[in-house]
Structure 1
């Protein structure tokens, strides 16, 4: 099982839903865990009549309403016929939602931020606290850095690194920067209001960067990435 922790206090919902849909389109069993402060994903799924717990959505399962990872694991253990997941993906805004063991043993840890000054300043404090909670002083965890919803890129990398360079983290590769424009924004809103995950209308540049991120985190080659993207675009759910 692969565990991916997408950590950070900025809204990264559309990106993670697209990633989950691509993994599901590759015929993998995916569990997506809502560990956000506002527990936002029930709104996207559109189920308010009863607790969601674990609900299928657009080809993958979404876990909502759990206080922490221990409660989620207890639920999975007690569920009759619970299936095995190839990927467990966390949208993590609550630093102590996952255990220290999960933080340390995760297949990938990805820090997601945008360029808003509030996010950068408070995100640095959030990440510092998380590292202090879950890693000993002699550890330097490896993390990827992803920047979402970027427009004009007048920021250079040295400016961005000023917010995080003091942290005991081994940053892997250069940051992956995802472009963002009005069309991508409109697709996000349309998907939320229709409770679907349509990827085909997204801009080519945005989809290219999503594919780069999936390839960065998996061992898939270009042909498999292209095939999975086409499958995700065809699926209407």
Structure 2
């Protein structure tokens, strides 16, 4: 089982959904935990409109919405006869600085700090890191994977980001920054996905798919070309139906 957490004060939902889709196409059992204040993934899955339950099966993976903390997530799963051990991959999307306590942070395999280069996103993430540092006083150094969305100059932006967080960041960055480059084709493809009800990777630019592969390999390890093509291939069945659990 791998657990990954996306933290940051920006909309990460498109890329969380893409990751879950790729893992599902590898026939892995996946849970997305939408622990954001906006609950965008939960809304799209129909959790706020079609069911009073906080968990639903959607497009091949499960979505849990409404958890405000790690303990809350566990309780919601147990209430529905499930647990983290049910899944091979758990993906948490949150903008809450105190979603995990210090011991729970140690259970997470992949920690991704996500931002755009907009001032609001950078400032909110700085505040998040300060809150994280105040909460976590352990000796263990954690690794964070930097992710930049709508990037224009990835190398320059990564260098600026490291400098921006330098005085408050006491852990370490992964060597490789994942940059999703600004491209209007991403938006067009996303609108098409919304209409079709599933991800059509062929509609996205190559740069986006390259970044998604790096992201996916943080959960799976190195993928063969054959396995990656399997991730990109859209099932012919069409939209999978919502199933309340």
Q: How does 1:10-25 map to 2 (within 5 A)?
A: 10-25=10-25
Match of residue 106 from structure 2 = 104
- Relative to structure 1, is the Cα distance of residues 63 and 10 closer, same or farther in structure 2, using a 3 angstrom cutoff? same
Counterparts of 1:190 and 1:94 in 2: how far apart (Å)?
Answer: 30
Q: Which residue of 2 aligns with 1:33?
A: 33
Identify the residue that residue 202 of structure 2 maps to in structure 1. 200
Deviation per CA, 1:109-166: give whole Å up to 9, x if none.
1111111121112211212212322x21534321111111213558354322121122
Provide structure 2 residue ranges, at least 5 long, that are not aligned to the other structure. Answer: 240-245
Tell me how far apart the structure 1 counterparts of residues 97 and 229 of structure 2 sit (CA, whole Å): 35
Q: Residues of 2 paired with 1:236 and 1:25: CA distance?
A: 14
TM-score, scaled relative to structure 2: 0.86
Q: 1:165 to 1:230 in 2, by over 3 A?
A: same
Quote the Cα distance in structure 2 between the aligned partners of 1:129 and 1:232. Answer: 41
Tell me the TM-score normalised to structure 1 length.
0.88
Partners in 2 of 1:153 and 1:136 — Cα distance? 32
Two-structure CA RMSD over aligned residues (Å) = 2.3
Q: Which residue of structure 1 lines up, in the alignment, with residue 243 of structure 2? A: none
How far residue 38 of structure 1 moved from its aligned partner, in angstroms, is 1.6
Which is further off, 47-56 or 31-40?
Answer: 47-56
1:134-149 alignment, distance < 5 Å = 135-136=136-137, 138-149=139-150
Give, in whole Å, the separation in 2 of the partners of 1:81 and 1:148.
Answer: 33
Do the aligned residues in 2 keep the contact of 1:151 with 1:179 (CA within 8 Å)?
Answer: yes
Q: Deviations over 1:79-104 (max 9, x none)?
A: 34767100111001112223332212
Q: Distance in 2 between matches of 1:204 and 1:235?
A: 25
Give 1:76 deviation, angstroms.
2.2
Contact 2:151 2:180 survives alignment (8 Å):
yes
- Maintained 8 Å contact 2:152/2:181: yes
Give the conservation status (yes or no) of the 8 Å contact 1:199–1:233: no
Q: Do 1:46 and 1:195's aligned partners in 2 also have CA atoms closer than 8 Å? A: no
Q: Deviations over 1:185-212 (max 9, x none)?
A: 1222333455433322111221111012
Structure 1 counterpart of 2:191, from 189, 192, 203: 189
Shift of 1:229: 2.1
Unaligned stretches of 5+ residues in structure 1: none
The runs of 4+ residues in structure 1 deviating greater than 4 Å are 232-235
